[in-house]
Amino acid sequence: MRLIIAEKPSLARAIADALPGNAQRQDGAIVCGDTTVTWCLGHLLEQAAPEAYDPADKQWRLDRLPIVPSTWQLAPRPKARGQLAVIRKLIKQAKEVIHAGDPDREGQLLVQEVIEHMKYRGPVQRLLISDLNRPAVSRALTTLRSNAEFQPLYQAAQARARADWLYGINLTRAWTLTGRQAGHDGVLSVGRVQTPVLGLIVRRDNAIRDFVPHPFYPLWVDLQVAQGQLRAWWVPKEHQPLDEQGRLIDRAPADALAAQLPGATGELTQLEQQEKRQAPPLPYSLSALQVDAARRHGLSAQVVLDICQRLYEQHKLITYPRSDCRYLPEDHLSLAQRSLSGACQNDDTLRQWLDGADFSLRSKAWNDKQVGAHHAIAPTGKPADLSQLSATEGQVFRLIVRNVMAQFYRPLRTFEVKAEFTLLKEAFRARGLSILDPGWKPLFTTREDTPPLPPLTQGEACQALGAGVEEKETRPPEPFTDASLIKAMMNIGRYVDDPAVRRTLRDTDGLGTEATRAGIIETLVQRGYLIRKQKALRATRLGTALIAALPSAVSTPERTALWEQRLRAIAEQQDDAYAFQQALLEDLRSLLTHSDAGKLKHSLQTAKGEAGGVAKRTSQTGKRYVRRKSPGGRKKTTTKN
């Protein structure tokens, strides 16, 4: 008997549907001739608890830390025993086993750890499926590979699981016990990804809280030129009182110049004109989709992930969603017109986009060299009955189809003009943008952010019609939202101070993975470290206090991002899992010496989390500024005297 072990029931059903013969369902399995398909239910096994290694560690004690198993053990998850019994019975009868976990690091671990836990020693092959449609599954069944090829991937996943256990168990126990000494009754959870994510939010909240606005004074002038009018902005000289961004912070010079400008003449002294071509945005990875869905439709990262899983498993409308790739295989190009036509059948908006597509075009999205274990999220081609989808499912599905459809639209062509005028020996700049060919742009927005300028000629004369000075205030950083936090986790190098580390992190996956980022955010909310205020994610008093009490190395991104880099190196056979663990243990022992009840108690007493709202800020001019929302939903700053 040939046994196929899938990662989840939906994948098992898709495999069984693609096998020859009549499928017969059994308890926990599907029999198709001489092949039986069974499944896991996510992780059936988990790292054993500390007391499994030594009963003395059931009680939490500082003098027992760090806890380091000498021989690692796995234990069945409480709800998994029944399915494990099914797999155990079937694997004893199998002459050949096929590993059908998802095509990524965790998928490799999830099924292989079950096979090894059952002590199966026969041949194991690997089935890689990223699309649940029958033709795709049938093709995958004809291209099985040896599971031995994926052993480095398994070792990296196993190293990650063990390292997370060591880090989380030991630091959580240390700071929870320290918290008790400081008067906090509850678990203080610390994790190698969740804590740096919390640290990002706490530091952003602190920057908002401590921000002191100051006024600045941009000066505009309306100019008459040969073929029309335009507005230009003064460029103050370096001897003027300027802030770090070159903005004028003393109104007097601006008022004096504005009074002299009406009627003044000058000329166009610098002119840059350039035609630009912009390729369409690439198809989505999961994180990129979560960012766009949050911005456009206000959906949380977890909601988007849940929707994608339903579109993939239940509706079979999209390919594997937990992808970190934004490129598609080259052999999918010939199938794209058919799959997009199927996806667009039952929706007026999608059909309209389809009518405008030119399938003779080829964008840079079709690139085998950029595709790893996964390719970008794409429609499968199954006709979508949007009346059977929820409103949010329809919104996410349209986004996925749109970004693939955009690959068959012309590039956006624009004509950009930058002009500098000289009047009264002062420089004034204007910028304009004309759209020569909208290309893919109408699929995304019809808004034009920068209006065009009238036709201009180098050296032509101009005359000032009027001028004015605006009073503006600098604004604090925006609080994190699901969209901006996911983007920060993807591009974590931007939040690292060390230039060498930032360069190292430029090409890594950042904090977390495509599959875990949404769950990390929700875990922080559930544990009381974060709250959602409208769309914003703010740290609570407890979350703020924990970050203040922890060593900065635990709450900053450098360590965990470099972890991910080493795990990738293990998967690529460029690093060693044992060496990685030994380095972690050395680091862990050092961190444990920093648990300090006095510091934690002080942090809990002084933390001012954002649960109660945004604090009022006083500007340098003595006014109080309160962040509000206008009736139209746009944030604005109002003053109270």
Strands 96-100 and 124-126: parallel
Give the whole-angstrom CA distance, residue 329 versus residue 320: 14
Give the whole-angstrom CA distance, residue 356 versus residue 100: 39
Residue 138 sits at the vertex; the CA angle it makes with 386 and 375, to the nearest 5 degrees, is: 60
Burial of 452-461, coded b for 16+ CB within 10 Å and e otherwise, reads bbeebeeeee
10 Å Cβ neighbour count for 48?
A: 14
* Chain position carrying tokens 């912009």: 278
- Cβ(7)–Cβ(40) under 8 Å? yes
- Cβ(283)–Cβ(402) under 8 Å? no
- Cβ(354)–Cβ(341) under 8 Å? yes
Q: Which positions ≥6 away from 496 have C-beta within 8 Å?
A: 502, 505, 556, 557, 558, 561
Q: Which residues pair with 481 in a beta bridge?
A: 536
| 66 upstream amide cis, omega within 30 of 0 | yes
Q: Which positions ≥6 away from 367 have C-beta within 8 Å?
A: 327, 328, 330
> Greatest CA span in the chain, whole angstroms?
95
Give the whole-angstrom CA distance, residue 93 versus residue 81: 19
Where does 344-454 have alpha helices with state H? 348-355, 391-405
- Cβ(518)–Cβ(301) under 8 Å? yes
Q: Which positions ≥6 away from 52 have C-beta within 8 Å?
A: 73, 75
Q: Which positions ≥6 away from 409 have C-beta within 8 Å?
A: 280, 356, 357, 358, 361, 439, 440, 443
Q: How far is CA 584 from the centre of its chain?
A: 26
Element (H, E) at 640: strand 635-640
Q: How far is CA 641 from the centre of its chain?
A: 41
320 an active-site residue?
yes
Q: Which residues pair with 618 in a beta bridge?
A: 624
Give the whole-angstrom CA distance, residue 577 versus residue 580: 5
Give the whole-angstrom CA distance, residue 225 versus residue 56: 85
* Chain position carrying tokens 């944030």: 635
Give me 42's structure tokens: 């996510």
Give the whole-angstrom CA distance, residue 56 versus residue 185: 22
Catalytic residue among 120, 217, 284, 320: 320
Q: Which positions ≥6 away from 478 have C-beta within 8 Å?
A: 484
Q: Which positions ≥6 away from 245 have C-beta within 8 Å?
A: none
Q: Which of 290, 259, 189, 80 is nearest to 524 (CA)?
A: 189
Give the whole-angstrom CA distance, residue 579 versus residue 568: 14
10 Å Cβ neighbour count for 539?
A: 30
Enumerate the active-site residues.
320
